[in-house]
């Protein structure tokens, strides 16, 4: 067998959960948003998409893609095709400047990608998936060492799946909506790295939902077309909230962060409800979690003058609670009391030792919500703020020597 | 026993259900709203408050009040006391102009009032109750034949319970918010009498709720204080909607009426959600009813180019569906299929003969919502647009010869 260089890269990318929500596109083809948004990147130790991309230097074939072991067609003009095209164009620019570089842009690529969280968890995988794709291709094409910034890469990730641009950074990330028609200034920027405020934890309460809600892509454009309140949100609420949220993060001011996070989540669901026909993502269990957090915060505000948890909901019934490390145990104890879990449904990687039979905080209204039956919250994922995409070693590759996925499902 | 004239009146007043919602006060003491609203008055044949008021010409006692057979204190400075005061002042003006009239304003009154619908039905009784009080006192004091208009009376009913002012008229009624600080121009006016559009029916779907929601009086002021979207609704949405809704009623344009009704209900609940902490009135069953009506309308729009039902929700989980007479049977058949009822929970006074096993409309997505268990909708009340307060004969009096309630509970 002839020795030859293998051009391959493997990266992971994180999930991010917005605290100022993205809802509405001003361009659907370029994925340009109607407002800026801001998110916290979650740790890849717990949730991540893993992607391997390889240039098929021997192949006369075409680009191919496997998602979770199943081959997916790369549709011409589709989002994956577009991302590949843009990344190749960037590589071509680099190659044009330096003739000694291998012409990687001319080879077809094989791409395999996997999420470590089940679809059943109800977590959107498009942000981490597209971010992993762009991170992997940029590593394969050696773009960062050739002067391509992460924000530039985020511009391409954005075109694959809007909020994917925010997963290109760790820590606290803003997606600036930009003003230009070509979208060149609609990119993600780091507000603060995770080290700035590392004790931010997240509890994802997975809420079962009998019926799948409106897909967000269709839903947000219906809101743009029919909600009178959305315009007010876009023009008069979000710009000031972006400022206040950034300031809260800079100051590590959890109260301000929590207040804005909850208000923004509620307002996002309010504009969904103001849509024709209305869009519902939260259900009775989601609402009960809000009431529980509201009561926890009320008691803590009264006793210690501060908030302990912030809820936020994306386009589904799952709650994400942001909680500072020092409060995780006491918040979890209350959550576990009202939403019982087993070690299977809540395998806490932090071993918090939260005991649901611990007495409720003094002054807490025990009947704020009923104790729910097991399964109302089907699973709890405990994680924390994390870093941006990671480059892994070849031993983590999803592709075998032949450039085909190592383990095909079925 | 010496013969003497008995000064007594007995009236009934109706329930009204808003299609442009009242939410927010600019004056809590005078009950002046932040926006105009519009409602449909429902028939007193099915839902009504019945009130008797008598001047105690022999009595040295004080004003007394019995609600549903239980005596209630008339608190000084409270709303009932205020309404009594205002009505007496109006009588005094009449007496001052005509010295031959008996000085009814100088006597204490006994008032007894009853609703014919159980509190368990989850229907607000304050609008019909306060409206019946004002109608009865105005009859007792002979105000209408002395030039006092119904709108003037509505101004007083408003101070007892905001939306009560709309129950002073039958048919289609606007509560004009007014501009004056003293509230003298914040009154109800008739948009159209019930005869103008008599085939408007209403189906009230009573939805059980484990937990009592936020009382509307407290809730609306929290929205005023914290919702950024409410101001936009008040200034930029409601004024134009009031115009469109009035026009739809004038034209008997059900499609326009339904579209505005549903949009306004959704927007009202949206601003509740945009409140801090958020206010929830609808639950999963309420939402399922919305999805069912949306599907019914979608199919009808496709097939016949028109809508068949409009949902609206007040400060609770109950749905009210407005349906034209010609569509009642087919809408009821679908409602009864997904929310099974017995003859006890749905004793249809119109004998519609709706058969829940009737085939669904062609093209209807049978799985739009699951078939719910009996009791999810605990009761259905079928009624229609109705007239304003009615003056009844003495045989309907709730007071005995001694001026005490005929039947005291317990």
Residue A211, chain B, CB below 8 Å: the answer is yes
Residue B283, chain A, CB below 8 Å: the answer is yes
- Min Cα distance A232 → chain B (Å) is 7
B98-110 residue pLDDT tens: 999 999 999 999 9
Residue B178 or residue B218, greater confidence: B178
Give the chain A residue nearest B367 (alpha carbons): A211
A272-281 residue pLDDT tens: 999 999 999 9
- Min Cα distance B252 → chain A (Å) is 22
Token couple for B399: 């007071």
Q: Do A278 and B266 touch (CB under 8 A)?
A: yes
Q: Do B277 and A290 touch (CB under 8 A)?
A: yes
Token pair 């099915």 in the structure block, residue? B46
Q: Do A228 and B228 touch (CB under 8 A)?
A: no
Q: Do A228 and B267 touch (CB under 8 A)?
A: yes
For B97-134, the DSSP string reads H-TTS--GGGS-EEEEEEESS-GGG----HHHHHHHHH
Residue B373, chain A, CB below 8 Å: the answer is no
A295-316 residue pLDDT tens: 999 999 999 999 999 999 999 9
Residue B213: the pLDDT is 72
Residue B201, chain A, CB below 8 Å: the answer is no
Chains A, B: CB pairs < 8 Å: 79
Of A270, A294, A369, the CB nearest to B270: A270
- Max intra-chain CA distance, chain B: 75
pLDDT at B32 over 50: yes
Among residues 291-310 of chain B, which lie with CB inside 8 Å of chain A?
Answer: 294
Residue A275, chain B, CB below 8 Å: the answer is yes
Q: Do A270 and B271 touch (CB under 8 A)?
A: yes
- Residues written for chain A: 410
Q: Do A228 and B236 touch (CB under 8 A)?
A: yes
pLDDT at A410 over 90: no
Q: What is the mean pLDDT of residues A64-93?
A: 95
pLDDT, averaged across chain A:
94
Residue A284, chain B, CB below 8 Å: the answer is yes
Among residues 333-372 of chain B, which lie with CB inside 8 Å of chain A?
Answer: 369-370
Of A237, A269, A283, the CB nearest to B273: A269
Residue B262, chain A, CB below 8 Å: the answer is yes
Q: Do A275 and B290 touch (CB under 8 A)?
A: no
Q: Do A210 and B370 touch (CB under 8 A)?
A: yes
Q: Do B210 and A237 touch (CB under 8 A)?
A: no
What residues of A are in contact with residue B283 (Cβ under 8 Å)?
A: 284, 287
Residue A274, chain B, CB below 8 Å: the answer is yes
Q: What is the mean pLDDT of residues B197-206?
A: 97
Of A229, A259, A262, the CB nearest to B233: A229
- Residues written for chain B: 410
What residues of B are in contact with residue A283 (Cβ under 8 Å)?
A: 284, 287
- Min Cα distance B41 → chain A (Å) is 26
Residue A409: the pLDDT is 46
C-alpha B286/C-alpha A213 separation (Å) is 16
Q: What is the ipTM of this complex?
A: 0.92
What residues of A are in contact with residue B210 (Cβ under 8 Å)?
A: 370
Residue B139 or residue B120, greater confidence: B139
Q: Do B290 and A278 touch (CB under 8 A)?
A: yes
Q: How many CB atoms lie within 10 A of CB A346?
A: 21
Residue A266, chain B, CB below 8 Å: the answer is yes
With contact defined as beta carbons under 8 Å apart, do A406 and A374 qualify?
A: no
Helix, strand, or coil here: B367?
coil
pLDDT at A120 over 70: no
pLDDT band at B119 (very low <50, low <70, confident <90, very high): low
With contact defined as beta carbons under 8 Å apart, do A153 and A134 qualify?
A: yes
Residue A118: the pLDDT is 72
Domains in chain B and their CATH numbers? 8-196+390-396 (3.30.230.10), 200-384 (3.30.70.890)
pLDDT at A198 over 50: yes
B315-360 residue pLDDT tens: 999 999 999 999 999 999 999 999 999 999 999 999 999 999 999 9
- Min Cα distance B38 → chain A (Å) is 19
Q: How many CB atoms lie within 10 A of CB B340?
A: 17
C-alpha A87/C-alpha A288 separation (Å) is 45
Q: Do A277 and B290 touch (CB under 8 A)?
A: yes
Residue B76, chain A, CB below 8 Å: the answer is no
DSSP label of A195: G
Q: Do B270 and A229 touch (CB under 8 A)?
A: yes
- Max intra-chain CA distance, chain A: 75
Helix, strand, or coil here: B46?
coil
CA neighbor of B105 nearest in space, from B66, B75, B146 = B146
3-state helix, strand, coil in chain B (%, to 5): 40, 20, 40
Q: Do A277 and B263 touch (CB under 8 A)?
A: no
Q: Full-prediction pTM beyond 0.80?
A: yes
Give the chain A residue nearest B228 (alpha carbons): A237
Of B211, B263, B271, the CB nearest to A276: B263
pLDDT band at A121 (very low <50, low <70, confident <90, very high): low
Residue A221, chain B, CB below 8 Å: the answer is no
- Min Cα distance A259 → chain B (Å) is 9
Q: How many separate helices (H) and strands (E) can be counted in chain B?
A: 9, 16
Q: Do A273 and B269 touch (CB under 8 A)?
A: yes
- Min Cα distance A228 → chain B (Å) is 7
B235-283 residue pLDDT tens: 999 999 999 999 999 999 999 999 999 999 999 999 999 999 999 999 9
């Amino acid at each position: 067998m002839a020795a030859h260089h293998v051009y391959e890269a493997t990266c992971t990318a994180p999930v991010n959960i917005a605290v100022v929500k993205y809802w509405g596109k001003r361009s659907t083809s370029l994925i340009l948003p109607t407002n800026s948004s801001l998110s916290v990147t979650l740790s890849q130790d717990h949730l991540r998409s893993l992607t391997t991309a390889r240039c098929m230097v021997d192949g006369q074939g075409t680009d191919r893609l496997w998602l979770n072991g199943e081959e997916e067609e790369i549709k011409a003009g589709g989002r994956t095709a577009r991302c590949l095209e843009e990344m190749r164009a960037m590589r071509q620019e680099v190659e044009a400047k330096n003739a000694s570089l291998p012409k990687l842009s001319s080879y077809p690529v094989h791409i395999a990608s996997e999420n470590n969280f089940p679809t059943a968890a109800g977590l959107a995988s498009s942000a981490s998936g597209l971010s992993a794709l762009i991170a992997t291709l940029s590593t394969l094409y050696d773009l960062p060492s050739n002067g391509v910034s992460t924000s530039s890469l985020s511009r391409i990730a954005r075109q694959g799946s809007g909020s994917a641009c925010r997963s290109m950074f760790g820590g606290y990330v803003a997606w600036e909506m930009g003003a230009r028609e070509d979208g060149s200034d609609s990119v993600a920027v780091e507000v603060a790295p995770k080290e700035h405020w590392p004790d931010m934890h997240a509890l994802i309460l997975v809420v079962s939902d009998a019926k799948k809600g409106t897909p967000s892509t269709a839903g947000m454009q219906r809101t743009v077309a029919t909600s009178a309140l959305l315009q007010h949100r876009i023009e008069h609420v979000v710009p000031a909230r972006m400022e206040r949220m950034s300031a809260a993060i800079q100051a590590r001011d959890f109260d301000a962060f929590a207040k804005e996070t909850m208000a923004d989540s509620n307002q996002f669901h309010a504009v969904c409800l103001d849509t024709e026909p209305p869009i519902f993502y939260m259900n009775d269990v989601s609402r009960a979690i809000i009431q529980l957090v509201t009561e926890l915060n009320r008691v803590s505000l009264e006793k210690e003058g501060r908030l302990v948890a912030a809820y936020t909901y994306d386009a589904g019934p799952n709650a994400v609670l942001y909680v500072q490390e020092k409060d995780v145990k006491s918040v979890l104890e209350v959550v576990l009391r009202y939403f019982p879990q087993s070690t299977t449904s809540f395998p806490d990687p932090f071993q918090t030792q939260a005991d649901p039979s611990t007495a409720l905080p003094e002054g807490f209204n025990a009947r704020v919500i009923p104790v729910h039956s097991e399964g109302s919250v089907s699973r709890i994922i405990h994680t924390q703020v994390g870093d941006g995409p990671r480059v892994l070693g070849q031993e983590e590759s999803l592709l075998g020597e032949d450039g085909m996925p190592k383990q095909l499902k079925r």
